[in-house]
Amino acid sequence: MEKRKLGKSALEVSALGLGCMGLSHGYGRTVEKQQGIALIRAAVDRGVTFFDTAEMYGPFINEELVGEALAPVRDQVVIATKFGFDIESSTRLQRGLNSRPEHIRQVAEASLQRLRTDRIDLFYQHRVDPDVPIEDVAGTVQNLIREGKVKHFGLSEAGVRTIRRAHAVQPVAALQSEYSLWWREPEQEVLPALEALGIGFVPFAPLGKGFLTGAIDANTKFDSADLRSIVPRFTPAARQANQVLVERIGEIAGRKGITRAQLALAWVLAQKPWIVPIPGTTQRHRLEENLGAADIVLTRADLDEIDAALAQVTVQGARYPQQLQKLVDR
C-alpha cells in the first residue's frame, strides 16, 4: 500500500490506517478476541501499518487486543493510543477529563504494558482538558519522548489556538478529528492551520460511522450500547432526511464501478497528501472493501461532481449529543 507522511514529521504510515475501537467498544456488538486479532493481522497482511486505539476503548481491552495482535510484527507497524480521560468518573454522556502531568505518565506506563511494547509511536491527548494548560501537556509528552517511551505527540478534536500553543512547545505530528463527506467543518480553520504548521491529519469516522456506506437507514435499530443510539444525527428522522446524501454518493460511485464506502474514503484521501483516514470495521470483507479505496484515483472532474452533489444536501442532526460536544475544543 502507498505510504504517507503525517505532515512534516518523520512519521510514515500506510495511506489508510485501521481504527480499532469498534472491535471492542462503541458500536454495540463487539467481536471475540481471536476474531479481532485475526482482523488486525489481516490488515497487516494487506499493507496496513497504522493502528489506532485508546485506553478509553473498552476501557483498556482494546489496547490489550491491539497489543497481542501486533506483537509479532511490532517493528513493522505504528501504534497510536491516547490519554486524557478520567475513566473512573466517565459515563457514556459524562466524560471526566484528566491531563495532569502525573496522570499522563501513569497512562503511558499502563498503555505500554497493555500494548506489549517499549514505546508508543503516536500519543494523542484524547480531548483538550481546560483545567490543564496545553503547554504543560505538551511538555510532559516531550519528556516522555526524551525518555524514549513515546515517539510522537498528537492531539484529538483540538481547536486551532490549542494546536498552535501545543506545537510551540512540542511539535505536533498529527491531529485526529472527525472528517468525511458529511462532516467538513475542519476545512474552515483546522486544515489550513495544519498545512501551515506541517501537521498531519488523521480523520476518524471517514465513513460517517457507517451511514455513508448505505448499510444504515431510518429503520435500522441500534443496540443500547451503540454510541449512535445517543447521537442526534442518527435519530430515525435525521437518518431519513440524510438518506438523500447516501443516494447521491451511490449514484456517483455506481457510475465509477466502486462502492459508496470506497468513494467516501477515496474522497478523503484526495483532499491532501498528508491526510490518513482510519476507518474501522469488525468484518473481513469490509476491511478488504475499505482498503480497495487506496487504489482509487478521483479526477478533478470527479471531485467537482461530488462537491456539487454535496452542495445540494443539508445534513440533519448534530454529530454529538450536547454533553459530548462540550468536549470539542472549537
Positions annotated as catalytic residues are: 57
* Identity of the amino acid at 101: P
Task: Compute CA distances 144 → 10, 50, 316, whole Å.
Answer: 17, 21, 42
Please state the φ and ψ torsions of residue 155, each to the nearest 5 degrees: -125, 155
E strand segments, 21-149: 50-52, 78-83, 85-86, 96-97, 120-125
Q: Work out whether strand 3-5 and strand 12-14 pair parallel, antiparallel, or are unpaired.
A: antiparallel
228 vs 291: CA distance, rounded Å = 24
DSSP-assigned letters across all residues of 226-246: BGGGG-GGGSHHHHHHHHHHH
DSSP-assigned letters across all residues of 177-221: EE-BTTB-GGGTTHHHHHHHHTBEEEEE-TTGGGGGGT---TTPP
Query: Could you tell me which residues come within 8 angstroms of residue 131 by beta carbon, excluding any fewer than 6 positions away?
Result: 97
Nearest to 163 by CA among 148, 151, 181, 177: 177
65 vs 67: CA distance, rounded Å = 5
Largest CA distance in the chain: 54
Nearest to 329 by CA among 95, 159, 194: 159
Say whether 87 sits in a helix, a strand or coil: helix
> C-alpha grid cell for residue 267?
474522497
> C-alpha grid cell for residue 183?
462532516
